[in-house]
Structure 1
Amino acid sequence: MNRETVVLSTTSDFSGWRAWARKLLHERVAADSIRWIVKNPADLYAPSATRVLPAAPSTTSVPRSLAALFPAVFVSEAPERFRLLYITLQTLRDNLPVPDELAERLTGLATESRKRVLDLRCQMPDARNPDWQVVRTFHASALIDSQAAALADLRPAPWVITAPERTLCWNGQEYLFGPGLEGDISNSSEVIAAARNIATAGAGNVWWHGIAPVRLHPDATDIASSSSLPGLRGKAIDCRMCDLCGPATRTVSGEGNPAARIIFVGEQPGDQEDLQGRPFVGPAGQLFDRALKEAGGNRAQAWITNAVKHFKFVPKGNRRIHQKPDAAEITACSPWLATERKILAPKVTVMLGVTGASAVLGRQVTVSRERSRHIPLADGSIGLVTVHPSYLLRLPDEESKTREYTKFVTDLRMAISALAG
């Protein structure tokens, strides 16, 4: 029997596998006649490189539910993964049902890969420290490669990932791939310098084009099952619970002290929050920080989040104009906030504005009627409604700004004093 040998450039070379699989399926080459091997080309880590892949018409239509498994199966460490995926395409090409045993095997491999994806994401620090951060891991290079874009969304500030067979750098603008670091370097500054020196393959190197991202596709049940804040954040980056995920840059999760006894719930990320991947860092966030400090609070000891995790806006020239989320969008995002509060179990929840209050209380709220008083919450904790700091920025004159800012600080001081009760 004649055998076809297909050489892939890396274990994450999904575009190469797909191009060759399409050609071989078109030529009706049987799965048992194909030998898939991985061999790194000489210019794999060069700043620029070219490549020629075979071109052939597609002979197969893959159901969406099955197609969603392919990237996760591809980055698994199962030796037979390339063959299993090819057999799946071959079966579909011949208009045959995918055997239950094969479907179960693919699902099992995909499930294990997604668990490892979440584990890697949980290792990623948030962006509170804007300096370069180092993440040391033992995950397989294919899985790391599949998460490059997601990890850049999780932490827009610079970072380095080092693993035995892969170095991945994100400099805040692009990610660059390199081989594993040689030797045992303990000093973080030296790791960063060495990683940036060897991670040189980026957008100009075609060997790294077409890496299939592995997504987690969280639903309400999956969200509710989360038991840690890093796990919740790792899942949230793939949120598709409503249409706001399309135009927004990224999901913006809460941040702060995971042992916080007080949390602050705002409306949604703004322009700067969307870009920086952090809640309350724009003008309203800066005002909030000043007021909280004046009230005797400390942001580093609190948890800051929003009812809606994506920025809703309309473009106007070079600007993005904030739009208020509607009831459907607040409802769609509610599992994230509910699980966040369940994990944190705070003593006091401060609701900043009508959207934050409505999301926590589960009903329509008029801030002027309900602010500045303790509200018993269903979990036995204390709630307090006040204005959103962006309201203070919109006031027309200095006199009203000063008056309302003083009331806002008083509300925050009331919330902080409730911690001692």
Structure 2
Amino acid sequence: MIRETVTLSTASDFSGWRAWARKLLHDRVPASSIQWIVSPPPFLYAPSATRLLPNAPSTTNLPRALASLFPAVFVSEDPDRLHLLYLTLQTLRDGMSVPDQLIESLRRLATESRKRALDLRCQMPDARNPEWQILRTSHAAALIDSQADALSNLRPEPWVVIAPDRTLFWNAGEYRFGPGFTGDDLPPSELIETARSLASAGNKNAFWDGIAQVRLHPESENIAASPSLASLRAKAIDCQMCELCRPATRTVSGEGDPKARLLFIGEQPGDQEDLQGRPFVGPAGQLFDRALREAGGNRAETWVTNAVKHFKFIPRGNRRIHQKPDASDISACAPWLMTERRVLAPRVTVMLGVTAASAVLGRSVTVSRERSKHIPLEDGSIGLVTVHPSYLLRLPDEESKTREYTKFVNDLRMAISTLAG
């Protein structure tokens, strides 16, 4: 018998569901007596709005392993998902063990949602093209909403997601939500403007506060099973395999031609790379691009990445001062680099500096001893060691900079000729 009917504003209204679940658990309303429905209020897409939610103390201690499943289960398309989540909390509140069958149902629904989330992320273009990007998808609104943070981290540059049930608009600093549309007959410029006009619900609308954010929780085995560079990048945005993820803005994955046979590996993202979400775009990256052009190469035809995927720094006033990665940082990122190299399968790998060389070769490296030599790698490809371009920027005088820059260009030219040969 239905005793309580609870109305949520959207299928991604996790904060609303959580507030009502706490109250109903506190009032000892059984799961079988609750009807959960989704009915958007008329001001759901207003630029700003407030709402009142019940405020009750928590009566349940949710184990971390189960807590990690809840957002993904919440945005699943199973009609019984909210009942199953509440039933889990009710069981724990009563001091009982959650039945294996219920846990298995939660895991199955969470796995399905994470697969959909991964698929959506893989569709998001990277940040190489700063122009507006339009992502059309058929994914459900709740799934799209759950990926707002992840998609903005994957691509800091502007984009819009258009789906039958949701419009998600990101303008390099703020995302906004709107109703869905198709716009099949609209040119790109009109699509973007239509999305802009529809997506007006922003950070000041309380109905969009506390959306269920679905994370992928990548681990070594899951990383190694990645079938593509796009899926690797999509998973890496949720990486928490070391402490560097906490102060950094985002994971910075590699970019370039996924069919490239020439791979360049640097040390780690710097300040600008961390902010822009792209490798080698700061001063050292600009120097690298210039040297590669002089050597006869084209960055667009290569793949560029780093041994460590997060920016390691110490804050000093308004600045973030680069810190060299240590062995534990390199080890934590090893699954990402190893899988990236396996999927890319380059013919020539250029290690830019001691961190990259140590990460690839698995031993201590002195760049001056190993530089400009062909090094057979375990996967059958050829490795080359040279300096990191940031080394050139630190040289004290112009004569040294000119001499070392010429040697660096020659090393890049050697890599290109090795690929051609």
TM-score normalized by the length of structure 2: 0.99
**CA apart distance, 1:21:** 0.4
User: Which residue in 1 is equivalent to 2:293?
Assistant: 293
How far is 1:3 from its partner? 1.7
Task: Summarize deviations over 1:36-82 as a string: whole Å, max 9, x none.
Answer: 01000111000000000001010000000000000000000000001
Distance in 2, matches of 1:125 and 1:191, equals 17
Task: Spell out the pairing of 1:3-402 with structure 2 (5 A cutoff).
Answer: 3-181=3-181, 183-402=183-402
3-state DSSP of counterpart to 2:420: coil
Q: Is the 8 A contact 1:181 1:194 kept in 2?
A: no
Shift of 1:193: 1.0
Deviations 1:7-36 (A, max 9, x none): 000000000000000000000001111110
Distance across 1 between alignment mates of 2:352 and 2:261: 17
- In the alignment, the residues of structure 2 paired with residue 73 and residue 6 of structure 1 have an alpha-carbon distance, to the nearest angstrom, of 18
Superposition CA RMSD, Å? 0.7
Moved more, 303-312 or 175-184: 175-184
Distance 2:377 2:45 in 1: 56
Residue 356 of structure 1 aligns with an amino acid whose one-letter code is A
Between the aligned partners of 2:345 and 2:314, the Cα distance in structure 1 is 35
SS of structure 1 residue aligned to 2:143? helix
Alpha-carbon separation, structure 1, partners of 2:109 and 2:146: 15
Alpha-carbon deviation of 1:181?
1.9
In the alignment, the residues of structure 2 paired with residue 395 and residue 120 of structure 1 have an alpha-carbon distance, to the nearest angstrom, of: 45
Name segments (4+ residues, structure 1) moved above 4 Å: none
Q: Deviations over 1:312-344 (max 9, x none)?
A: 000011100000000001000000000000000
Alpha-carbon separation, structure 2, partners of 1:184 and 1:242: 44
The 8 Å contact of residues 185 and 191 in structure 1, kept in 2 or not, is answered as no
Q: 2:10 is matched by which residue type in structure 1? A: T
CA contact (8 A) 2:265 2:350 kept: yes
In the alignment, residue 359 of structure 1 is paired with which amino acid? A
Deviation readout 1:361-420 (Å, 9 max, x if unpaired): 111100000001110101110000000000000000000000000000000000000012
Residue 185 of structure 1: how far off its partner (Å): 3.4
Query: For the structure 1 residues 126 and 2, does the alpha-carbon distance in structure 2 shift closer, same or farther, using more than 3 Å as the test?
Result: closer
Whether contact under 8 Å (1:350, 1:386) holds in the other structure is yes
Task: Determine the C-alpha separation between the residues in 1 that align with 2:37 and 2:315.
Answer: 48
For residues 126-176 of structure 1, give each alpha carbon's deviation from its aligned partner in whole angstroms, at most 9, with x where no partner exists: 000011100000001001001101100000000000010000011000000
Following the alignment from structure 2 to structure 1, what is the Cα–Cα distance between the partners of residues 213 and 328?
28
Match for 1:380: what amino acid?
Answer: G
Whether the 8 Å contact between 2:162 and 2:182 is mirrored in structure 1 is: no
1:14 & 1:409 partners in 2: Cα distance?
Answer: 54
Amino acid at match of 2:226: S
Distance across 1 between alignment mates of 2:190 and 2:56: 47
Corresponding letter in the other structure for 1:255: E
The separation in 2 between residues aligned to 1:241 and 1:181, in whole angstroms, is 38
CA distance in 1, matches of 2:72, 2:420: 48
Partner Cα distance (2:144, 2:325) in 1: 34
Q: Which amino acid aligns with 2:266?
A: G
Counterpart CA distance in 1 for 2:345 and 2:188 is 35
Over residues 71-116 of structure 1, what are the superposed CA-to-partner deviations in whole Å (9 max), with x where a residue is unaligned?
Answer: 0000000000010000000000001000111000000000000000
Aligned mates of 1:189, 1:347 — CA distance in 2: 41
SS of aligned partner of 2:161: strand
Q: Take 1:224 and 1:185, find their aligned partners in 2: how far apart are those partners? A: 41
Query: Following the alignment from structure 1 to structure 2, what is the Cα–Cα distance between the partners of residues 282 and 405?
Result: 17
Identity %: 76
Q: Secondary structure at the match of 1:419?
A: helix
Rounded to whole Å, the distance in 2 between the matches of 1:220 and 1:294 is 39
Letter of the aligned partner of 2:404 in structure 1? E
Q: Is the 8 A contact 1:254 1:279 kept in 2?
A: yes
Query: Measured at CA, do residues 415 and 15 of structure 1 come closer, stay the same or move farther in structure 2, by a change above 3 Å?
Result: same
Taking the aligned partners of 2:312 and 2:379, their CA distance within structure 1 comes to 30
Question: How many angstroms does 1:186 deviate by?
Answer: 4.3
| Contact 2:216/2:238, CA 8 A, preserved across alignment | yes
Over residues 278-314 of structure 1, what are the superposed CA-to-partner deviations in whole Å (9 max), with x where a residue is unaligned?
0000000000000000000000000000000000000
**Displacement of 1:183 after TM fit?**
4.4
| Structure 2 CA distance for aligned equivalents of residues 39 and 2 of structure 1 | 18
* Alignment partners' CA distance in 1, 2:187 and 2:135: 12
Give SS of 1:185's match: coil
Shift of 1:2: 5.2
Query: Could you tell me how far apart the structure 2 residues matched to 1:92 and 1:158 are?
Result: 43
Report the residue type matching 1:123 in the other structure. Q
Task: Provide, for residues 190-241 of structure 1, a one-character-per-residue CA deviation record: whole Å limited to 9, x for no partner.
Answer: 1111101110001010000001210000011110000100000000000011
CA distance in 1, matches of 2:61, 2:344: 45
